[in-house]
Amino acid sequence: MNRGRTRTLAIALLVVLAGVVPAVGAVGAVGATASPTHAGATATDAAAAIGSDAVAASRTVQADCGFPYSATDATGTEVTIEERPERVTTLNPSAAQTMWEIGGKDQVVGLSQFALYLDGADSRTNVSASGFGVSVEKVVGTNPDLVLAPNATSVETVQSLRDAGLTVFHFSGATTIADVREKTTLIGRLTGNCEGAAEANAWMTANVETAIEATAGAEDVRVLYPLGGGYIAGTETFISAMIRAAGGANVAAERNLTGYPQINDEVVLELAPDYLVVTGYSSYLLGQEPYASTPAVENNNTVRVNRNWMNQPAPRSVVMAVRTLTEGFHPEAAAAADFETREEAVAAMETATATESQSATDTPATTTATVDDTPADTETSGPGFGVALAVLAVLGSALLARRER
């Protein structure tokens, strides 16, 4: 494959991740080495993977979900929502998927072309621009009360939408499962769907916990998730966090490769992953070098995950990706695991909420005051969907369109 075609193909594959994962970076310290952990996850890893307060927080409903509500977004702008937004436009698939999951589907009036897989999405306005990105004119045309913009949306686009009189919340990047949980809570708060957000988070938390506990006694398998054109999912990404929760060790850690770097064939062969994760859009790599010569392909240890689940940081994505990865890495452990349905997770959440309310009622009031000299952190920001891939995406949009037909 010639160099130009390789670059174009890589860009096209990365378009799939637009607004979802951070921008691709340089190769990183490929000369450095560090041994990944293979001792297996412990039960306490659940808190680290989801957030130290996730277990309790994700199983209770936020008491105050009223309006007006204000929060500071990724641009440093304090965004105030005066009343529950009836018309919401989402600029990337993760935000749309989250709205579907938390009960805000009927509020969505506009979404991007990459969210058209959602049930009923085709009845909403597609605000994508020709090629890539979003059309400011189309977004304005949806007459939204609130626009949910991933950090893949340029600051210039956000400002143009604000100049047009729209209320826009610009999210920062999600690099952990805890970020996904917090982003879900924030979207629920911004749109008046706090209960639905709590239910979605309870479901996600329960399944991640189950995966971690099920694989606690197993040795982590060495995993690589290639994106095409030499790009991979490195550490410090929500994708790597999902791999870890499923009992995998991202081999990118052995070279201190973070984010979404591009590596050469030699590094892939040196990393020699025992498992490869692919989607329907990257499975062609299994028949090409250098991946065809990795232990993963030679031993038929490949795990195929739905592209939307693997690449979009939203509750359903995490649930489905972690389950699929666990089944692929540790089939026996997965078969014995008791993954909760959403209904079961919601029932557990309701029980926890009721217990907490009863405990609060039964606890005598105290007049003892405690003083904390630590300054309060007054800055509020919402984790979101990844650094912009706009430049790469514009170059690759035509090829993507051909691949998706």
pLDDT digits (tens, 9 = 90+) for 16-39: 344 344 434 333 333 333 333 334
Residue 49: per-residue pLDDT: 56
pTM tops 0.85, yes or no: no
- pLDDT higher than 70, residue 181: yes
Q: Which amino acid is at 338?
A: D
Residue 1: per-residue pLDDT: 43
Q: Tokens representing 204?
A: 């996600």
Q: Which DSSP category does 264 fall into?
A: -
Residue 351: per-residue pLDDT: 82
Residue 120: per-residue pLDDT: 97
Residue with tokens 């890893």: 45
> Distance between alpha carbon 165 and the CA centroid of its chain, in Å?
29
Confidence grade of residue 63 (pLDDT, cut at 50, 70, 90): low
Residue 269: per-residue pLDDT: 98
Q: How many alpha carbons lie under 13 Å from residue 74 in its C-beta half-sphere?
A: 26
Residue 108: per-residue pLDDT: 98
Taking residues 307-320, what's their average pLDDT?
Answer: 96
Q: Tokens representing 389?
A: 């891939």
Residue 118 near residue 60, CB atoms below 8 Å = no
Confidence grade of residue 352 (pLDDT, cut at 50, 70, 90): confident
Domains of the chain, by residue range, sit at 1-362+381-405
pLDDT tens per residue across span 206-264: 999 999 999 999 999 999 999 999 999 999 999 999 999 999 999 999 999 999 999 99
Three-state SS sequence of the chain? CCHHHHHHHHHHHHHCCCCCCCCEECCCCCCCCCCCCCCCCCCCHHHHHHCCCHHHHCCCCCCCCCCCEEEECCCCCEEEECCCCCCEEECCHHHHHHHHHCCCHHHEEEECHHHCCCCCHHHCEECECCCCCECHHHHHHCCCCEEEECCCCCHHHHHHHHHCCCCEEECECCCCHHHHHHHHHHHHHHHCCHHHHHHHHHHHHHHHHHHHHHCCCCCCEEEECEEECCEECCECCHHHHHHHHCCEEEHHHHHCCECEEECCHHHHHHHCCCEEEECCCCHHHHHCCCHHHCHHHHCCCEEECCHHHHHCCCHHHHHHHHHHHHHHHCHHHHHHCCCCCHHHHHHHHHHHHHHHHHHHHHCCCCCCCCCCCCCCCCCCCCECCCCCCHHHHHHHHHHHHHHHC
Distance CA 140, CA 122 (A): 18
Residue 349: per-residue pLDDT: 86
Q: Which CATH number fits domain 1-362+381-405: 3.40.50.1980, 3.20.10.10, 3.10.129.10, 3.40.50.720?
A: 3.40.50.1980
Lowest mean pLDDT among 22-26, 47-51, 134-138, 275-279: 22-26
Mean pLDDT for the chain overall:
81
Confidence grade of residue 11 (pLDDT, cut at 50, 70, 90): very low
Residue 53: per-residue pLDDT: 52
